[in-house]
Amino acid sequence: MTQLLKPNNNSSCLKAPSKLLAILTACLLASACATPSMSANSSTDSTIRPDGSSSSNNNASATTQNSASQSKEAQILQQAEQIQNYLATDNYKALTAFIHPTKGVRFSMYAYVHKDSDKVFSREQFTTYLQQSRIKFTWGAKDGSGELHITTLPDFLNNWVAAEQYEVKNTTFNKFQGSGNSLNNLKVAYPGADFVEFYHSGKNPEYQGIDWRAMRLVFDEYQGKYYLVAIVNDQWTV
């Protein structure tokens, strides 16, 4: 019986586990080396900055802000086009819903906004004076002659604002197109507000463009929505 237990057989049994152990050790080492490599690759998607913020988070925030800004511009431009259409077609009553609920709407004859003398109407007043069309107001002094412009609300909208002369394609958002001798204080009178300018370059070649006109619709935010707070007209002044 003792002859069956040969030393050579015992040696082969010990060698097999040793080879297996070597293979397992090599696999573990390869796995450990691969782990940092994967972490390094994943970290390139988001760079940690000294303030603790990451570039990926900032990019997402910037994208959100741009989307919000574009959404606001699109909303205001759409409202401005509707208002211009209502003015051009004499559908003045439809403007009431666009007027600012607490600030009303101001009318300025020229680029300079006179906060102490320009006519301002609340929604209720606007509706009332459209119906009581015989009531006249002093809207300001005409450039050049200094003559007071006294007329009714519907007549002022029809003949002075005269929105039918403007085309939607000639509009800009928060950018002035027309400029003349009249001082433009819109951004001072309405800091932080947004405006849409409708521009008409003129129609008489003999005037070489000095018969241009502009209509600026000014909007301010109220409870998450944008409302009309002013209609500012502009044209060449002496």
With CA atoms as reference, report the closest residue to 228 among 68, 128, 82, 110. Answer: 82
CA angle centred on 101, ends 196 and 115, rounded to 5°? 65
Output the CA torsion 140→146→147→152 (10° steps): -20
Q: Which of 25-39, 42-56, 62-76 has the highest mean pLDDT?
A: 62-76
Distances (CA, A) of 40 to 24, 35, 44, 56, 119: 25, 9, 7, 16, 66
pLDDT, tens digit, 9 for 90 and up, residues 95-148 = 999 999 999 999 999 999 999 999 999 999 999 999 988 999 999 999 888 999
Helix (H, G, I), strand (E, B) or coil at 78: helix
Share of the chain above pLDDT 70, in %: 67
- Which residues have CB under 8 Å from 197's CB, separation 6+? 171, 172, 175, 176, 177, 178, 214, 215, 216
pLDDT at 201: 84
Helix, strand, coil percentages (3-state) for the chain, rounded to 5, are 45, 25, 30
| pLDDT, tens digit (0-9, with 9 covering 90-100), for 153-195 | 999 999 999 999 998 888 999 999 977 677 999 999 999 999 9
SS3 of residue 136 by DSSP: strand
Q: Where are the domains of the chain?
A: 55-235
- How much is the pLDDT for 10? 45
Do the Cβ atoms of 145 and 221 come closer than 8 Å?
A: no
Q: How far is CA 148 from CA 57, 109, 133, 158, 214, in A?
A: 58, 11, 19, 17, 21
Do 83 and 196 touch, CB atoms closer than 8 A? Answer: no
CA distance 199 to 46: 46
Query: What pLDDT is attached to residue 41?
Result: 41
Burial class (CB in 10 A: 0-12, 13-18, 19+), 65: exposed
Per CATH, the number for 55-235 is: 3.10.450.50
